[in-house]
Structure 1
Amino acid sequence: MNKVEPIRDREKIEEVKMELLKDNYRNYLLFVVGINTGLRIGDMLKLKVKDVRNQTHIILKEEKTNKSKKFFINSVLRNALDNYISNMADHEYLFQSRNGNNQPLSRSQAYRILNGAGTKVGLDSIGCHSTRKTFGYHHYKQHKDVALLQELFNHSAPSITLNYIGINQDVMDNSMKNFSL
């Protein structure tokens, strides 16, 4: 399994959004929810309309850690969600598969959607975890608070968080740019 990376360039994030919108709004929303909450793909795919309608937070028990978490719904995400769910019933999955009646999108299909959009805009190493890593990378760049991000991600150490979002690699690469003997 290849390691996926965060999308570091904000312009590329916008390009991915536009590429996903060309296909359909569900795919766009999958990406927008991921980059604005840092939720794992498995947790996102289980969301139902009732989990987000008229809510200020997405509240769930994380699949991987089995811990209860609250994820704030910011204004960008709120608008995107409201546009999408306006004609949906509370019991419906947010990210429905086209196969079956009210079945959630599969993880493999979510990967194909995200990876395909990334490839179309010239990004390598894009997958399901890229949305979470992109959230983490830009959250860290904006706030410089690894302890907060560690808590948001339920990581056991700051070094795990920095490695996960690619900051350690960025620091190492930058240190080597102007180094020569």
Structure 2
Amino acid sequence: MENAFATQTQSVRKKINSISSMALNWHLRECGVILMPRIYKRFKPHGSTYVRKTAYKHGREVVKPIDVEDFEEMVRICLVHRDEYKPTSKQYFKWYRNYIILIIGVNTGCRINTILESTPRDFAGGRVTVTEHKTGKRQQYKLSDDIYKVLKKYIDTYNFTMNEFMFPKDRVNRDAIDRSTAWRFIKKLADEAKIEYPIACHSLRKSYGRWIWDQTHDLLLVQQLLQHSSAEETQRYICLEPHDVEKVRGEINHLPNYD
């Protein structure tokens, strides 16, 4: 009975690519077959004691915040690429756009989808007014004057209207770029900067939080800025490790100075 069931299930699986979802569901009900989810076992090469850390088909590396020096190198490379082209060219615009995305990412802490669909209205008068796509939480606060000056120059250079996407594919196609496009240029810059730890679009927001912690050592402040529900979530998010806390302990010096 079990062999017959396995044979029937295998036959149905082979038809998945050629039968539409609706037809497939009908076919399964008629056959009385229920497809069970696949279970991916740990990979272990023959004769080896090595056990793959990832238990399922595809594992996910923990995306890291970007070190300040590495981020500065990524920005430098981005501007070098931009300045290789004429200011009126399509490539100049793309690298200028990419540069602004990097700057906005580490200075606002907004999620990448929120950044990519930003409009000048969201930063009007130097005030950030956005609603996060993922959580629906609204943020309103004043942007640094220096950051707003950089952003305003970009907006004025390309005459973006108040409700126009600031990060379009190009000056003809005004649709906002998607997350995969942002990931590709971030990955390219990371490779050129010889960054070996895993980073992605989310690294910009993580860097925002981690850099603030490095400056203040105030986890609750970072939690509030990232709008997390708990300090534990923030601690994991910014990749705060025990040795980071020990380093802070070693720098404490409350010795009075009477000289």
Q: What is the TM-score when the length of structure 2 is the normalising length?
A: 0.62
Task: Give the match for residue 2 of structure 1.
Answer: 61
After TM superposition, the structure 1 stretch with the greater mean CA deviation from structure 2, 129-138 or 85-94, is 85-94
Counterparts in 2 of 1:83 and 1:66: CA distance versus 1, 3 Å? same
Instruction: Give runs of aligned pairs for residues 4-153 of structure 1, distance below 5 A.
Output: 4-8=63-67, 10-21=68-79, 22-23=81-82, 24-53=95-124, 55-86=125-156, 87-98=159-170, 101-123=173-195, 124-153=197-226
Structure 1 residues 110-147: Cα deviation after superposition (integer angstroms, max 9, x where no partner):
11111111111011312101100111111111122111
Q: How much does 1:67 deviate?
A: 1.3
Q: How much does 1:76 deviate?
A: 2.8
Matched residues, number: 172
Task: Give the match for residue 177 of structure 1.
Answer: none
Secondary structure, counterpart of 1:52 in structure 2 = helix
1-structure distance, mates of 2:77, 2:141: 26
Structure 1 portions without partners, runs of 5+ = 175-181
Larger Rg: 2
1-structure distance, mates of 2:78, 2:107: 16
Higher relative contact order (CA 8 A, sep 6+): 1
Contact 2:126 / 2:145 at 8 angstroms: preserved in 1?
no
Q: How much does 1:173 deviate?
A: 9.5
Structure 1 residues 20-42: Cα deviation after superposition (integer angstroms, max 9, x where no partner):
22242110000000011111001
2-structure distance, mates of 1:16, 1:83: 21
Structure 1 residues 66-97: Cα deviation after superposition (integer angstroms, max 9, x where no partner):
11112431123112101100022222211111
Contact 1:37 / 1:72 at 8 angstroms: preserved in 2?
no
2-structure distance, mates of 1:71, 1:35: 15
Runs of 4+, deviation exceeding 4 Å: none
Counterparts in 2 of 1:82 and 1:170: CA distance versus 1, 3 Å? farther
Structure 1 residues 41-76: Cα deviation after superposition (integer angstroms, max 9, x where no partner):
0110110122223x2321111111111112431123
Counterparts in 2 of 1:105 and 1:170: CA distance versus 1, 3 Å? farther
Contact 1:93 / 1:102 at 8 angstroms: preserved in 2?
yes
What RMSD, in angstroms, separates the aligned Cα atoms of the two structures? 2.0
1-structure distance, mates of 2:106, 2:114: 14
